[in-house]
Amino acid sequence: MGVDDIDAKLKALKLKYSQTQPTTNPNTVKLYLHAHGKWIISDKLTSFKFIKTHDDVTADVISDDDDDDSNGCWYLKVGEKVRVRVSTDMQLKMFAEQRRVDFVDNGVWAMRFFKPEDYRGFVDRFQSCLFENVTGLREGFSRVGEARIADDTMWENGEENEWRNVEDLKLRSFRTSNDLLEEFEEVAGGGGGIRSVALGALDNSFLVSDAGVQVVKNFSHGIHGKGVFVKFDNGGRNVGSGASEGYLNAQKALLMRGETNMLLMSPLKEGKPHSSGVNQLDIETGKIVTEWKFEKDGTEISMRDITNDTKGSQLDPSESTFLGLDDNRLSQWDMRDRRGMVQSNSPVLEWTKGHQFSRGTNFQCFATTGDGSIVVGSLDGKIRLYSTTSMRQAKTAFPGLGSPITHVDVTYDGKWILGTTDTYLILICTLFTDKDGKTKTGFSGRMGSKIPAPRLLKLTPVDSHTAGKQNKFHSGRFSWG
């Protein structure tokens, strides 16, 4: 039973309540709780307020003054039943036509407002508190277009004409998700837990576990197990630290050289993504043929992610270069020495081009288009687009929405970007019309104020609560088809 159904039944009963007017206070709401598969009234008449306090939810209130400049975090308090830190973890979902918001806090709650202006006032205040909690800045000090709440109202003035087929995309994805999950579990059964997925453009894709590589067959609707499992063989060498551990705990797998070889990268420390090198695996034999090190000007450095020079260069049988990303570095690496010869004695990767930023970029993940343009996701939620000519300055930067980008993908033509966070996926169209009337992507031209509205795909508060706090989105990707 929905919230509207409950209200309709109450009105039909024609119960006599006190004549007090609940709508004189703009913070007055009706509170509902979702329990046993239906909505029940928790409080027929209560009120909310935003309070600033310390991270400890049991701490004393510092202030509930909108103009307060003291340190602390904003919390939402609803009557005596709800007190929750304002964050994207609330999975807040808005229903403007119903003057209602749903959110998660040790259960799923709904607040219904009595007037449209009261609803809009809550939304504005919530966004301001979320912005301050995420960035540490008062919203008044922010630039236009900075981080705001992650919901479907973001960038509502953007060009919406690019979203004709988005709903169909969502439906197709959801219909096949359960089937794909079963197939992943089926093919992973023989090799332990899946640590990385390498999507092939040809007949096969590859699931990497601690023991080896599971080969799966590509179909238009997904993948299916072939019953082929390639066990890792280190050629009798002892496993040490750094790059030589890569195939035992591979968090990243990159196909190359006609999809006959694979680069495996493992973190140096548990819980940290950075690696000092990669292992080159011959997929057919399962042998680690080379253990590569990252060095720049004779100094060993680390990378947190690797990807192909272009989307499709993995099909090149002579491919010898790839891209690397660290917190403040974006670079290209070459597996040949400076004379263009394949190295045999000293397997050190050559830094051929790139840029080392002074600080503050906090890069997390990246991907490339068919022509080699680069999209980079960051800890602050920003998504930057770099052209093929420069790794130093982004052509376009999409503002962050409050959550770190944990994975990013882009279509071959560069027209669509898919970013992944723990709690939602963000789909962005990069097309815009420049001042000369030409259609471009944000990789080749500066979009500026012509950034279109994104589409956020996330669970409802009810589904999010059912899935649990540890249930997170991982590595959203486009298919090759």
CA–CA distance from 85 to each of 19, 91, 206, 408 (Å)?
34, 12, 41, 28
Q: What are phi and psi of 98, to 5 degrees?
A: -100, 0
Residues linked to residue 439 through DSSP beta bridges, in sequence order: 433
269 or 256: which leads in pLDDT: 256
Residue 143 CB contacts under 8 Å (≥ 6 apart), including other chains: none
Q: How large is the average pLDDT for residues 448-476?
A: 85
Q: How many angstroms separate the CA atoms of 63 and 70, rounded?
A: 8
Q: Which residue has the tokens 């694979």?
A: 262
pLDDT tier, 20 (very low <50, low <70, confident <90, very high otherwise): very low
* pLDDT score recorded for residue 199: 87
Q: Mean pLDDT of all residues in the chain?
A: 79
pLDDT tier, 365 (very low <50, low <70, confident <90, very high otherwise): very high
pLDDT digits 0-9 by tens, 410-425: 999 999 999 999 988 9
CA–CA distance from 421 to each of 5, 124, 288 (Å)?
34, 23, 33
* Inter-residue contact 395 to 380 (CB < 8 Å): no
Of 183-192, 243-252, 399-408, the range with the highest mean pLDDT is 399-408
Of 46-50, 54-58, 184-188, the range with the highest mean pLDDT is 46-50
pLDDT digits 0-9 by tens, 424-445: 899 999 999 999 999 999 999 9
DSSP one-letter code for 233: B
pLDDT tier, 267 (very low <50, low <70, confident <90, very high otherwise): confident
* pLDDT score recorded for residue 71: 73
Q: How large is the average pLDDT for residues 312-322?
A: 92
Q: What is the pTM of this model?
A: 0.73
Beta strands in 243-359 (DSSP E): 252-256, 261-265, 277-282, 287-296, 299-300, 305-308, 321-326, 329-334, 348-356
* Inter-residue contact 82 to 76 (CB < 8 Å): yes
* pLDDT score recorded for residue 36: 87
181 or 129: which leads in pLDDT: 129
* pLDDT score recorded for residue 474: 87
CB atoms within 10 A of CB 374: 25
pLDDT tier, 131 (very low <50, low <70, confident <90, very high otherwise): confident
Helix/strand/coil for 12: helix
CA 262 to chain CA centroid, nearest Å: 25
Provide the percentage of residues in the chain whose pLDDT is more than 90. Answer: 42
Q: How many angstroms separate the CA atoms of 441 and 127, rounded?
A: 29
Q: How many angstroms separate the CA atoms of 224 and 221, rounded?
A: 10
CB atoms within 10 A of CB 453: 18
Q: How many angstroms separate the CA atoms of 215 and 176, rounded?
A: 20
Q: How many angstroms separate the CA atoms of 49 and 472, rounded?
A: 29
Q: How many angstroms separate the CA atoms of 368 and 148, rounded?
A: 27
Whether 142 shows a pLDDT value over 50: the answer reads no
Whether 69 shows a pLDDT value over 70: the answer reads no
Of 35-39, 340-344, 382-386, 477-481, the range with the highest mean pLDDT is 382-386
Whether 260 shows a pLDDT value over 80: the answer reads yes
Range with the lowest mean pLDDT among 157-171, 202-216, 245-259, 364-378?
Answer: 157-171
Whether 244 shows a pLDDT value over 50: the answer reads no
Q: How many angstroms separate the CA atoms of 81 and 320, rounded?
A: 60
* pLDDT score recorded for residue 45: 94
Whether 16 shows a pLDDT value over 60: the answer reads no
Q: How many angstroms separate the CA atoms of 205 and 346, rounded?
A: 31
* pLDDT score recorded for residue 346: 56
Q: How large is the average pLDDT for residues 431-460?
A: 90
* pLDDT score recorded for residue 150: 41
Q: How many angstroms separate the CA atoms of 77 and 57, rounded?
A: 11
* Inter-residue contact 274 to 302 (CB < 8 Å): yes
pLDDT tier, 88 (very low <50, low <70, confident <90, very high otherwise): confident
pLDDT digits 0-9 by tens, 158-210: 444 434 344 344 434 444 444 544 555 454 454 457 778 888 888 888 888 87
Of 14-23, 29-38, 226-235, the range with the highest mean pLDDT is 29-38
Whether 157 shows a pLDDT value over 60: the answer reads no
* Inter-residue contact 452 to 432 (CB < 8 Å): yes
Q: How large is the average pLDDT for residues 266-292?
A: 86
Residues linked to residue 93 through DSSP beta bridges, in sequence order: 102
In the chain the domains, ranked by start, together with CATH numbers, are 3-141 (2.30.29.30)
Residue 427 CB contacts under 8 Å (≥ 6 apart), including other chains: 166, 169, 416, 417, 418, 454, 455, 456, 457
